[in-house]
Amino acid sequence: MMKKRFSFWGIFVCVAFLFGCNDNVPKHSDTTTSGEITISADECFKPILDAEKEVFESLYPQAKINIIYTNEYDAIQLALVDSVRMAIVGRELNTNENEVLKQREVKPRYNIFGYDAIAIIMHKSRKDTILNQSQLTDILSGKIATWKQLNPANNNDSIKLIFDNPKSGTIQFVNDSLLKGTPLTKRSYSLQNNPAVIERLETDKNAIGLIGTTWISDKNDSNSVRLINSIQVVNLVPNQPEKAEAPYMKPLQAYIALKQYPLWRNMVIINTEGRYGLGTGFASFICSDRGQRIILKSGLVPAHAPIRIIQLKNE
């Protein structure tokens, strides 16, 4: 009997010791549909992510998603240093960023959940509303520096380029996809966010702005309609106009879906959670049929839902 009592108390002490040691191990109280987490995201995607978050939290009242909206660079950095468990940006991690996670023994999971584009915007009074890629690249590099160089009928005022943020994903996209090593013109200026770029273009006749299409794509949203009515969106000539649906185009849903609008890009979830927690649940919802329909309704292109494209021809 004494031996049995000793064995029992010995096991009890060991179990108590193990539970005591586990007090220092981080505990996750969230599940895929409950709890609270903080994620980071490129401010370009704020309208669509706010819509996804609103529906997700209405379906799962015990879930709370806090989103830090910032520029692409800082959104990724927050994930790399483990300040957030998920970042939503316009690209996957590069080699150096992956190396940081590798040192932490973290393997990121990626979900491309949709496609948006970069819109080129001007003041409503401007008539230079069609650009080809060569002209756009020359404007970005500074080779075309004045409005007169763009069109002899214009005045000789300097063209100013306006971006949303100095560490923006838009600038990263321009550098990678258009400039390809050529420095960005010194006549470029960065503000704080996309609405600030639109506000600037309402009054500055000599500026060209670059914004995320998400801010002006939803024709059913009063704020989106107000923003698009305050400026004009430039038409771009597609890379292969002879094969395209139109000789020039704005960043409309159909042209983004066909990948004919030259400045389309991915919308990417970078998940560093390493478990099936609330971040994974939110990511799964965005990629689900319901989450994808929210993207479709907003005027963007979902990655996992069918798109119906209707072509209208003038007779």
Q: What is the three-state SS of 232-246?
A: EECEECCCCCCCCCC
For helices 278-287 and 46-59, the axis angle rounded to 10 degrees is: 110
Give the architecture-level CATH label for domain 35-115+264-302.
3-Layer(aba) Sandwich (3.40)
**Amino acid in the structure at residue 9:** W
CATH of 117-257, one of 3.30.930.10, 3.40.190.10, 3.40.50.300, 3.30.70.920: 3.40.190.10
Yes or no: say if 88 and 49 are a contact pair by the CB < 8 Å rule: yes
Residues of the chain with pLDDT below 50 are 1-26, 314-315
Any bridge partners for residue 268, and if so which? 89, 112
What is the per-residue pLDDT for 312? 52
What is the per-residue pLDDT for 274? 86
- Dist CA 12 CA 158 (whole Å): 79
- Dist CA 263 CA 3 (whole Å): 77
Residue closest to 267 by CA, chosen among 248, 249, 292: 292
Distances (CA, A) of 77 to 86, 87, 228: 11, 9, 32
What is the per-residue pLDDT for 232? 95
Distance of CA 256 to the CA centre of its chain: 15
Distance of CA 234 to the CA centre of its chain: 21
Give the chain's radius of gyration (CA, Å).
24
Q: Where in the chain is the domain with CATH 3.40.190.10?
A: 35-115+264-302, 117-257
